[in-house]
Structure 1
Amino acid sequence: MIVFRYLSRELLVTLSAVSAVLLVIIMSGRFIKYLSQAAQGVLDPGVLFMIMGFRLPGFLELILPLGLFLGILLAYGRLYLDSEMTVLSATGMSHKRLLAYTLAPATLIAVLVAWLSLGLAPQGVAGVARILNEQDALTEFDTLVPGRFQAMRDGSRVTYTEALTEDRSQLSGVFISEKRLRTGSDAKDKKDPGIAVLVAEKGRQEIQADGSRYLILENGYRYDGNPGQADYRAIKYDTYGVLLAKPEVSSEVGEREAIPTRELIGSDDPRHQAELQWRLSIPLLVFIVTLLAVPLAKVNPRQGRFLKLLPAILLYMAYLSLLIAARGQLDKGKIPMELGLWWVHGLFLLIGLGLFLWQPLQLKLASRRAVKEMAHG
């Protein structure tokens, strides 16, 4: 029991450290992307942390199996390097017992991953979809940030306001630059864009009966012209209306990923069945990568701790990539639903069993050679 607690502690500590690093890397990349969309006025900055919170279960369901795999390699690799595993083997620790001890914390991780994959992750995807749908209803006016230039309509319009009231009803110090088609008689290509610049002392939002929204500017100027040409036209106005377009928010998740697992069970839709098999595959992945990692973690102290780390990672990437590819083929109907993703798990289960059984066999062969050499000597 003492050995079991020691191995479990070493494994879980390493797993936690590796998973935390991977989580920070992945979430930082996604947060930067969402932050860029917020800076462009596509997303409200106030919902960024809500989106990241909803995406967290989806990140963890894929990070934890990889964290467990790397945790076994690093934790057990250190024990082999420090000859602790040699001492344990001398006291009766067999490969089967080591695998049994490792499967105990792996089962805990598999249960956690199953909870994330089957329950929390779909709820998180639904939460993200709900927030993005709410963002789709916003206009440029709703996402403006005082003192910042914000690009709208794929960069065709840039908007700036010096100040904005707390209830977002009034703007002051408004600047809008918008691309337009050239209209000058000397334009060689009518499709070449010109520029229209609007400046105003203040502005407000107005909603029409048809639901369209306009930014009503007051006391300002409009400047029209073509870059590089001295044909600018200035128009002073008392009131000017600018149509507010809705920001285009792109979603990274599909609708079926937000469907609760209970609705997928028994569905006749092949895409729903493929999604269900994928969700069940993630917890199963935990047990198989554990079987792969235990024999791969064994290293010779003379060879170093990281000798097998790169081949092991490549093997894990091949496993996950093959699962993703099989999922895509399953969606297209090119793989029978009965075969599904299970053949991928079966293939790597055989690889894991081969690696696990090869080490004791290798030790027996080495022992026999040593006995023969001693006998002949």
Structure 2
Amino acid sequence: MIVFRYLSREVLTTLGAVSAVLLVIIMSGRFIKYLAQAAQGLLDPGVLLLIMAYRIPGFLQLILPLGLFLGFLLAYGRLYLDSEMTVLTATGLSPRRLLAYSMAPAAVVALVVAWLSLSLAPLGVQKVTTILNQQDAMTEFDTLEPGRFQSLRDNSRVTYTERLSADRSQLGGVFISERNTSTAGGKDRGVGVLVADTGRQEIHPDGSRYLILQNGFRYDGVPGQADYRAVQYDTYGVLLPKPAVSEDISERDAVTTGELMRSNELQYRGELQWRLSLPILVFVVTLIAVPLAKVNPRQGRFLKLLPAILLYMAYLSLLIAARGALDKGRLPPAIGLWGVHLLFLVLGLLLAFWEPLKARLRGRKPEVAA
């Protein structure tokens, strides 16, 4: 039990460190994306941290299997490099027992991944989808901040206001620059600029919203040319388009696992197999990582790290490709993602038992009996 606790502690400690680093990297990239959307007025800055919190289970369900895989490679690689594994082998720790010990932390991680993929991750996606739908219902007027130039995603319009009332009903010192999509007399007008003393929002019965500007000017023309047209107005209406928030979330990601099990749609069956595949992935990569972690002290602990990572990426890429083929009906559901797991399970068994098998084929026993 002492050896088991020692090995498990080494693996889980490395798993925690690697997973934390990977989580920070992924969350930083995603947070920058959300921050850019908030700067464009597409998202309320107040919901950014809430969105990130709901996305954590979805990130962890993919990070933990990779973290465990690297944890075995780094932790056991250090033990081989420091000759600790040689001492443990001399005291009776066989490759089979080492593999059995390794399956215990793998089972813990698999249970956590199953909880994340089958329950928490879909729930988190549902929450994020609800928040994004609420943001989609907002208009340019709702996300406007006084003293800041705000542009739409396609850069077709830039809006600025000096003052904004507390109830967001009245604007003061309004400036709007937009591209003119229409032509007058067959000539492109280029850019239109609106300035107004005050503005207010008006909602029509059909749900469309307009920004009603009062006491201002409109300038139309092509930059660099001197044929600008200036129009003074008392009242001017500007349609407020709804900002579109982009996110790589599909509808099936938010479907509960129970609904997936009751559905016969190919995409839902593919999603169910994907969620079930993540806990299975943990056990298969453990079977692969334990023998790959064995290194010669003269070779260094990182000799097999790059090939092992490439093997893991090939495993994950094949799962994603099989999921896509299953969604499109090119792969029978009976085979689905299970064929990929079976392929790498066989590979893991060959790696784990190759030395004893080779010894038996040569007509002699392995150096250390199980």
TM > 0.5 fold call: yes
Q: Which runs of 5+ in 2 are unaligned?
A: none
The corresponding residue for 1:275 is 271
The corresponding residue for 2:307 is 311
Question: Aligned equivalents of 2:288 and 2:189: distance in 1?
Answer: 60
Maintained 8 Å contact 1:180/1:195:
yes
Q: TM-score, normalised on structure 1?
A: 0.92
Identity %: 72
Q: Are 1:254 and 2:250 matched, yes or no?
A: yes
Post-superposition offset of 1:256: 1.2
The corresponding residue for 1:357 is 353
Report the secondary structure of 2:319's partner residue.
helix
The corresponding residue for 1:28 is 28
CA deviations over 1:112-170 (Å, ceiling 9, x no partner): 00000000111111111111111111100011122222112611111112232332222
Question: Aligned equivalents of 1:294 and 1:181: distance in 2?
Answer: 63
Question: Aligned equivalents of 2:170 and 2:3: distance in 1?
Answer: 69
> After the TM superposition, which residues 132-281 of structure 1 pair with which residues of structure 2 at under 5 Å, given as runs?
132-152=132-152, 154-181=154-181, 183=183, 190=187, 192=188, 194-281=190-277
The corresponding residue for 1:344 is 340
Tell me whether 308-317 or 142-151 shows the greater mean CA deviation.
142-151
Which amino acid in the other structure matches residue 64 of structure 1?
L
Root-mean-square deviation (CA, aligned residues, Å) is: 2.1
Q: Are 1:323 and 2:314 matched, yes or no?
A: no
The corresponding residue for 1:17 is 17
Q: Which runs of 5+ in 1 are unaligned?
A: 372-377
Post-superposition offset of 1:367: 11
The corresponding residue for 2:282 is 286
Report the secondary structure of 1:265's partner residue.
helix
Name the CA shift for 1:103/1:215 in 2 (closer, same or farther; >3 Å): same
Maintained 8 Å contact 1:214/1:241:
yes
Maintained 8 Å contact 2:189/2:220:
no
1:334 to 330, 334, 340: 330
The corresponding residue for 1:375 is none
Post-superposition offset of 1:35: 1.1
Question: Aligned equivalents of 2:263 and 2:316: distance in 1?
Answer: 25
Which amino acid in the other structure matches residue 350 of structure 1?
V
Name the CA shift for 1:317/1:99 in 2 (closer, same or farther; >3 Å): same
Maintained 8 Å contact 1:27/1:52:
yes
Aligned residues: 367
Question: Aligned equivalents of 1:66 and 1:153: distance in 2?
Answer: 35
The corresponding residue for 1:68 is 68
> After the TM superposition, which residues 74-93 of structure 1 pair with which residues of structure 2 at under 5 Å, given as runs?
74-93=74-93
Tell me whether 282-291 or 353-362 shows the greater mean CA deviation.
353-362
Tell me whether 345-354 or 335-344 shows the greater mean CA deviation.
335-344
The corresponding residue for 1:374 is none
CA deviations over 1:23-73 (Å, ceiling 9, x no partner): 111111111111111111122222211211111111100000000000110
Q: TM-score, normalised on structure 2?
A: 0.94
> After the TM superposition, which residues 40-51 of structure 1 pair with which residues of structure 2 at under 5 Å, given as runs?
40-51=40-51
